[in-house]
Chains A and B, each alone.
Chain A
Amino acid sequence: MAILVNKDTKVICQGMTGRTASYHIERAMAYGTNVVGGVRPGKGGSRHLDAPIFDSVSDVVAGTGADASIIFVPPPSAADAMIEAIEAEVPVVVCVTERVPVLDMVRVKDALEGSRTQLVGPNSQGVLTPQACKLGVMSTVHERPGTIGIVSRSATLTSEIVAQTSAAGLGQSTTVGIGGDPVHGIGFVECLKLFMDDSETAGVVLIGEIGGAEEEMAADYLNSIKASKPVVALVAGRHAPPERRMGHAGTLTLFGRADANHKIKTLRAAGVLIAPNPQDVAGAMRQSLE
């Protein structure tokens, strides 16, 4: 099963003919990902990396039955690419692009409301179901098929936890990078829900960090259900120096929730096991699974 993507997922790429996209799509194909086509306006009818190129997302969906897209479109047009995928009702969309303007993401979130799309990112390394589907740009050195779901705000820490859960013999069901931007697609709560419902996932690792209130929202969600699976969390930035501020408004909407210690306290109160450091994550998970 896994979540979001599996070996049957038919993947397309928006902006496929670009240099970065070509590099990563070639690797995804070599990994066994079922890439069925790509989008590049004006180049419809041609082929790239031996896959058919279409002029628009709706064309490629009609032509291939694609059910997931990965976006490598530069920041000025990334939002339009995401909205195009949402309007074409692509079920799972990963946006890798970094530095997308925040207000563009506000428009994208508006388009997502009531849609059939689960958006991952932007500024995300993507989604990986080991040995089945790589809808992302992560390295595939240490991942092993297994039972741990990982949801993370940080790509490098995900690699770190992947390596450890593999070394501990647990492996991963799916890893999801929700992206490092303040406004993004699915978050901790949606991923926790998916992992709780996934028969292949035995436990979930949540990798959070200072800023925003998403860890607190995850804690609220876990409080509202009777979690059937253990959740281990790592929150980065316990000793980070306070950010320089302009004005009061950020503080007035977050009320202390951006702080790492507040997040740790809130998650712990919701029954989450806290790993103080990345090296403790796999051990804590093993213990709680026994």
Chain B
Amino acid sequence: MNLHEYQAKQILAGYGVSVPVGEVAETASSAQGVARKLPGKRYAVKAQVHAGGRGRAGGIKIVDSVAAVEKAANDLLGQTLVTEQTGPEGRSVRAVYVEEAIESQRDVYVAVLVDRETSKVSLIGAETGGEDIEERAAAKPSIIKTLMVKPDGSAAKGAFESFAKKLNLTGALAKKAASLFQGLTKAFVEQDASLIEINPLVVTTRQELMALDVKMVVDDNAMFRHQNVRDFQDKDELDPVEMQAQANEINYIRMDGNIGVVVNGAGLALVTNDMLTDAGGVPANFMDIRTTASSLDISAGFDLLLSNPNVKAVLVNVHGGGMQRCDTIAEGIGISIKRCGCEVPIVLRFAGNNADYGRTLLGNYGISYIEAQDIGDAIERVIALVRSEVA
């Protein structure tokens, strides 16, 4: 689950990481009200969306007066922000975070994540931060420094301080950085984060360290032990169709084609869309029916697919396994089609566990479909169908 900047800062502040004073606002006038209470004369007005690259996309405005805060908030709220991480559709700005602007002497990059090669909690950093970090690291990978920490977030004595020195944080700053890193990795483990990124971590003119921007993602699988974090969920940031699918044990991603795709298992779903694309078709979605989905879940997933007006034909490619069998999926499709009475053409390929039983069930529901011999045959047939529909 993605957190907003202001939520992440609130969590990190509890672990001794200093952050600028600020508050979130949903209207321009309340943004102005926040600014009035803040110390200093310069303010940062920051769009709260779940994506990075906001600065380069114009989602962060630094202003010099309370009146300018109101104007900046007015400009940002309701705007669709397109950054390098949002995709072309962008994100709608529903809230801004107003905080005191901090005079920075130097920007550093720091993040914590689980390294997939070593399976260890890993603190990474670079002595210069900023939104161009990926380009700089691609050109020179050695700018990224790494410290693997223990599963509980702790490290050997002095390890955080030596890591600070690798980021060119020396003297008194090294000690301050070490205690910040300790808090950061502790927060990561205690909150079941999958990412905490501070970019930039600034050295202020008073030689203090402050987290100017924070990205934080929490492991969805660990929500059962983090009610406090669950309350942070911003449903407006999630795609309602994908969220509904999740509630029905289905991984679903909307795409822009005209062939609805029904598959069980992520690997087979990826391969089906690969083959469809190779053959000149365009999928309307990615669908992975999880092993835990019941026939009612599957019917809800099929409803979502049918509610997409672009869908001209449906490709069902199911390989029944030990946990998700063809008959359960047939029943889900049957329920959905009976319910809506729609007549979308279906190309069906059932294989594996209970394939025959699945076909019989579809017959019992009175569903007509074109039967395919294998995946390649199914793809040819569904593309031919769509071409004849469009022509």
List residues of chain A with CB under 8 Å of any chain B CB: 24, 27, 75-76, 98-107, 109-110, 125, 136-142, 152-157, 159-160, 163, 180, 182-183, 207, 209-210, 212-214, 217, 234, 236-242, 244-255, 276-279
Contact = CB atoms under 8 A, between A and B. Distances in A.
Interface in B92-139: 109, 111-117, 119-122, 124, 133-134, 137-138
A209 to B, nearest CB: 6
A139 B117 contact: no
A101 B321 contact: no
Given A106-B119, A183-B119, A249-B124, A155 B86 contact: no
Given A103-B189, A248-B199, A252-B111, A156 B221 contact: no
B57 interface: no
B268 A160 contact: yes
Nearest to B51: A246
Contacts of A180: 266
Given A246-B51, A253-B113, A103 B322 contact: no
Contacts of A163: 319, 351-352
B310 to A, nearest CB: 16
A100 B114 contact: no
B116 A254 contact: yes
B85 A245 contact: yes
A27 to B, nearest CB: 7
A175 B210 CA distance: 51
A183 B111 contact: no
Contact of B133 (A136, A212, A252): A252
A247 B271 contact: no
A245 B51 contact: yes
Nearest to A256: B138
Contact of A247 (B111, B290, B323): B111
Given A99-B221, A212-B116, A156 B265 contact: yes
B268 to A, nearest CB: 4
Interface residues of B, number: 73
Contacts of A253: 113, 115-116, 122, 124, 144
Contacts of B292: 98
B151 A103 contact: yes
B3 to A, nearest CB: 9
Contacts of B51: 244-246
B114 A106 contact: yes
A153 B286 CA distance: 18
A137 B352 contact: no
Interface stretch (B16-24, B59-67, B165-173, B272-280): B272-280
Contacts of B219: 101-103
Interface in B239-267: 253, 255, 263-267
A76 B224 contact: yes
Given A103-B192, A246-B217, A252-B124, A156 B114 contact: no
B195 interface: yes
Contacts of B189: 103
Nearest to A162: B352
B141 interface: yes
Given A246-B217, A253-B116, A277-B375, A157 B265 contact: yes
A276 to B, nearest CB: 7
Of listed A99, A140, A180, A212, residue having the most chain B CB within 10 A: A99
B116 to A, nearest CB: 5
A253 B120 CA distance: 12
B344 interface: no
B158 to A, nearest CB: 21
Contacts of B183: none
Contacts of A247: 52, 85, 111, 195, 197, 199, 215, 217
A106 B224 contact: no
A247 B85 CA distance: 8
B58 interface: no
Contact of A240 (B120, B199, B275, B286): B286
A278 B52 contact: no
A137 B323 contact: yes
B320 A152 contact: no
Contacts of B253: 241
A14 B374 CA distance: 38
B162 interface: no
Given A139-B353, A152-B267, A156-B263, 10 more contacts: A101-B192, A105-B119, A125-B321, A125-B322, A155-B267, A241-B255, A245-B52, A247-B85, A247-B197, A253-B144
